[in-house]
C-alpha cells in the first residue's frame, strides 16, 4: 500500500490548495491537522489524513471545487454532517495512492418546496431536522423524523446511505431524482440532471437555478420518477419471505444518488414528503417470551387493515443503560426540542477539540461532565414504563394512527388474554417519552464507553436485517464471545426486523477480531448487514454492490475504499505482501 500524497508532489498539492482558496475563500479551506480533525474523524468510527477540507458556499463553488480536484487527480470525499457510524464519510487511514480532499457541504442548506410541499428539492447541507421544521406548519413530514435528526444528520446522508428509520410504511430513503457530478471512464467530470426539472444546458446555469429554486411549473416533470420507495409498505407485509425487508445491498434500492455511498458528487435530490399523522396512539407492550412478540409482529403485518406508523423494540438491558447514560439527551430534547440540538452537539465537539489541545483535562471530559450533571435531573421516565422494565425483558412500542387504534386495541386485548405479557395504552405524554427513551438508547453505548474508559476497550456496533420469516430473532451468543462483552444493547425497528446491536467490549480485547467472529453467526441465520447504514470502511460489500460502485465511479476517485474495496485509481487491485 502506498502512503497518502506519494502520488502528488508537495508543490502540486500547494497549488491545488491555492486554487481551492481562490474558489471558496481562504477561510473555507482548512489544512492544519487540528482544524481538519473534526472532518477527518468519524462520528463513531474512522479517521485518516487529508490534504485539505474545502467548504463551498454555493453549488457553483462546489462544481468548481470538483473540477479542480478531478483535474489535479486527487481523491474526493463528499461529506455532509459526518454523523455516520461506519466511517463512510471520512478518510480511512493514510493508505491511499493519491491525496485526499474532503468536500464538506454543510454551508449549502437550502430546501425548496414544490407541489405545495408534496415534494422537496434539498441541497447538500439540508438537515433532517431543518426539513422536519419546514414541513411541520403545512402538516407534512420528511421520510425520517427524530432519531438521527437529533444530531443534525443531513438529508443527503440518508439518501446516499440507504438510511431506513423507524417509520414502517416508508422504507429506506430513496429517490430516482437527483442532480449530480460524475467522473467518466475517460476521467472527465460531467454534470447529470435527473431531477426531472428543466434547468438549462450550461452546468453553472443549472446549478445556479437549482440553488435559487427557480422552478417554474412548466419546468417540472411530475412523472420523472419515484421520490420514495413506494413498494415498501407491501414488501414488508410478506412475513413468510426468506429475505430481509430492507438492507444496504438490495440492488432494487440502489439508483444513482440513492445508495451511492459518496461515489457521486451530489448537488440536489428531489424527495416525496408525507402527510403528518394527527393524534397517533402508542401502545406499550412487555413480555418475557420472544415468540410472543414475533406473533404480534406477524399478525400486525399480515392482518391489520392499516400498517402502524412505527414499532420499536427495546431490550431490558438497553432500557437500563439508556435510562442512566441517555438521560441528559432525553431531558435536553424534552426541554428544547430537536431544533437546537445540532448546535449543542457542535458546541460539545468544539469543546472536546479544545480540551484535547489543552491536554490536562481527562479524555471525553464533556461526556463525563454531562453524565455527572445528569445525576441531578429528576426521574424522567413514566412509572408504568419502569414497572414494565421490572416485569418484562422485552419491550415493544407500537405507534398507530387514530384510525387504526381500535383495531390495535382489540387485537392486543385478545392476544394478551391468552399469551404471556401485557400492554397498556399510553397517554400522549407517556407515548412521547417512550419513543424518546428508545432513541436515547442509540447513543447510550457511546456515553458508557466514554465514561468508563478504564474498563472498556470500545464498541462493536452491528446493524442487522433479519429474514422476514425468522422466528428466532433474538440473538444468543456463544459463551466465548459473551465473556468478552460488558453489556449488550439490543434495540431496533421490530416490524421491519431491523436490529441495532451494540456491544461494549471489556478492556484488552480486540473489537475487530470479535466482530469478525460474530458475523459468521449472522450469516448462518440468513441475516444481512448493514441493514440501513452504509458499508463504510467496516463492512465488506458484496460483488454486485461493488460492481454498482464501479459503474458510478469508474476511476475510483470518489470515496475509494468503501465496502473494503481497493482504494487505488481505476479500481486496480491491491498488491499482496
Binding-site positions for FAD: 80-84, 88-89, 147, 154, 164, 261, 266
**Which residue positions form the known binding site?**
80-84, 88-89, 147, 154, 164, 261, 266
- Asked if residues 285 and 398 have their Cβ atoms less than 8 Å apart, the reply is yes
Q: Report yes or no: 85 and 147 within 8 Å, Cβ to Cβ.
A: no
Burial 211-244 (b: 16+ CB within 10 A, else e): beeebeeeebeeeeeebbbeebeebbbebeeebb
d(CA 515, CA 512): 5
Q: Is 105 left (phi over 0), alpha (psi -120 to 50) or beta?
A: alpha
β-bridge mates for residue 266, sequence order: 180
Residue with cell 457530478: 181
Q: Determine the 3-state secondary structure of 507 from DSSP.
A: coil
Please list, residue by residue across 469-499, b when 16 or more beta carbons sit within 10 angstroms of its beta carbon and e when fewer do. Answer: eeeebbbebeeeeeebebbbbbbbbbbbbbb
Q: CA distances (Å), 310 to each of 399, 401, 468, in order?
A: 5, 10, 16
Q: Which residues pair with 140 in a beta bridge?
A: 275
* Cell digits of residue 33: 491537522
* Cβ-based neighbours of 493, under 8 Å, separated by 6 or more: 164, 165, 166, 168, 310, 311, 312, 313, 499
Residue listed under C-alpha cell 460474530: 518
* C-alpha span between 337 and 330 (Å, rounded): 10
Show the DSSP H helices in 242-364 as ranges.
Answer: 290-303, 316-325, 327-336, 341-358
Tell me if residue 300 falls in helix, strand or coil: helix
Of the candidates 330, 333, 309, 335, the residue with the CA atom closest to the CA atom of residue 319:
330
Q: Kindly provide the residue ranges of all beta strands, DSSP E only, lying in 438-565, ordered along the sequence.
A: 456-465, 485-493, 498-506
Amino acid at each position: 500500500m502506498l502512503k497518502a500524497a506519494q502520488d502528488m508532489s508537495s508543490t502540486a498539492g500547494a497549488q491545488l490548495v491555492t486554487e481551492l482558496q481562490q474558489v471558496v475563500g481562504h477561510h473555507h479551506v482548512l489544512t492544519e491537522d487540528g482544524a481538519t480533525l473534526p472532518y477527518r474523524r468519524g462520528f463513531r468510527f474512522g479517521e485518516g489524513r487529508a490534504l485539505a477540507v474545502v467548504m463551498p458556499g454555493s453549488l457553483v463553488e462546489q462544481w468548481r471545487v470538483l473540477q479542480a480536484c478531478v483535474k489535479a487527480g486527487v481523491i474526493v470525499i463528499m461529506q455532509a454532517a459526518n454523523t455516520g457510524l461506519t466511517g463512510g464519510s471520512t478518510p480511512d487511514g493514510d493508505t491511499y495512492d493519491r491525496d485526499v480532499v474532503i468536500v464538506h457541504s454543510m454551508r449549502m442548506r437550502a430546501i425548496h418546496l414544490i407541489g405545495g410541499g408534496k415534494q422537496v428539492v434539498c441541497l447538500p447541507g439540508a438537515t433532517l431536522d431543518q426539513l422536519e421544521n419546514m414541513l411541520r406548519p403545512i402538516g407534512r413530514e420528511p421520510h425520517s423524523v427524530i432519531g438521527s435528526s437529533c444530531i443534525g444528520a443531513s438529508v443527503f446522508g440518508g439518501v446516499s446511505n440507504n438510511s431506513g428509520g423507524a417509520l414502517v410504511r416508508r422504507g429506506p430513503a430513496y429517490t430516482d431524482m437527483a442532480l449530480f457530478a460524475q467522473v467518466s471512464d475517460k476521467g472527465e467530470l460531467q454534470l447529470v440532471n435527473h431531477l426531472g426539472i428543466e434547468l438549462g444546458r450550461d452546468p453553472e446555469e443549472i446549478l445556479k437555478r437549482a440553488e435559487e429554486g427557480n422552478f417554474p411549473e412548466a419546468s417540472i416533470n411530475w412523472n420523472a420518477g419515484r421520490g420514495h420507495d413506494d413498494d415498501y409498505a407491501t414488501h414488508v407485509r410478506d412475513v413468510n419471505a426468506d429475505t430481509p425487508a430492507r438492507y444496504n445491498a438490495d440492488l432494487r434500492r440502489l439508483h444513482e444518488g440513492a445508495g451511492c455511498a459518496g461515489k457521486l458528487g451530489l448537488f440536489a435530490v428531489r424527495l416525496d414528503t408525507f402527510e403528518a399523522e394527527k393524534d397517533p396512539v402508542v401502545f406499550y407492550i412487555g413480555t418475557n417470551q420472544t415468540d410472543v412478540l414475533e406473533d404480534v409482529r406477524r399478525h400486525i403485518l399480515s392482518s391489520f387493515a392499516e400498517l402502524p406508523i412505527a414499532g420499536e423494540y427495546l431490550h431490558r438491558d438497553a432500557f437500563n443503560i439508556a435510562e442512566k447514560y441517555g438521560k441528559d439527551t432525553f431531558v435536553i430534547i424534552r426541554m428544547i426540542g430537536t431544533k437546537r440540538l445540532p448546535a449543542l452537539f457542535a458546541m460539545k465537539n468544539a469543546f472536546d477539540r479544545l480540551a484535547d489541545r489543552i491536554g490536562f483535562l481527562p479524555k471525553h471530559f464533556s461526556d463525563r461532565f454531562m453524565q455527572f450533571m445528569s445525576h441531578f435531573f429528576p426521574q424522567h421516565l413514566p412509572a408504568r414504563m419502569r414497572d414494565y422494565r421490572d416485569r418484562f425483558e422485552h419491550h415493544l412500542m407500537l405507534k398507530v394512527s387514530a384510525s387504526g387504534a381500535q383495531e390495535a386495541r382489540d387485537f392486543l386485548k385478545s392476544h394478551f388474554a391468552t399469551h404471556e405479557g401485557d400492554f397498556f395504552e399510553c397517554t400522549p405524554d407517556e407515548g412521547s417519552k417512550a419513543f424518546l427513551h428508545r432513541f436515547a438508547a442509540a447513543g447510550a453505548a457511546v456515553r458508557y464507553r466514554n465514561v468508563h474508559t478504564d474498563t472498556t476497550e470500545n464498541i462493536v456496533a452491528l446493524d442487522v436485517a433479519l429474514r422476514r420469516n425468522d422466528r428466532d430473532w433474538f440473538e444468543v451468543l456463544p459463551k466465548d464471545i459473551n465473556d468478552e462483552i460488558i453489556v449488550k444493547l439490543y434495540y431496533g425497528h421490530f416490524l421491519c426486523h431491523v436490529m441495532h446491536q451494540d456491544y461494549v467490549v471489556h478492556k484488552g480485547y480486540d473489537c475487530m477480531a470479535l466482530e469478525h467472529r460474530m458475523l459468521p453467526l449472522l450469516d448462518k441465520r440468513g441475516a444481512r448487514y448493514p441493514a440501513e447504514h452504509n458499508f463504510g470502511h467496516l463492512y465488506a460489500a458484496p460483488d454486485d454492490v461493488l460492481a454498482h460502485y464501479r459503474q458510478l465511479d469508474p476511476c475510483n476517485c470518489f470515496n475509494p475504499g468503501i465496502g473494503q474495496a481497493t482504494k487505488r485509481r481505476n479500481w486496480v487491485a491491491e498488491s499482496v505482501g
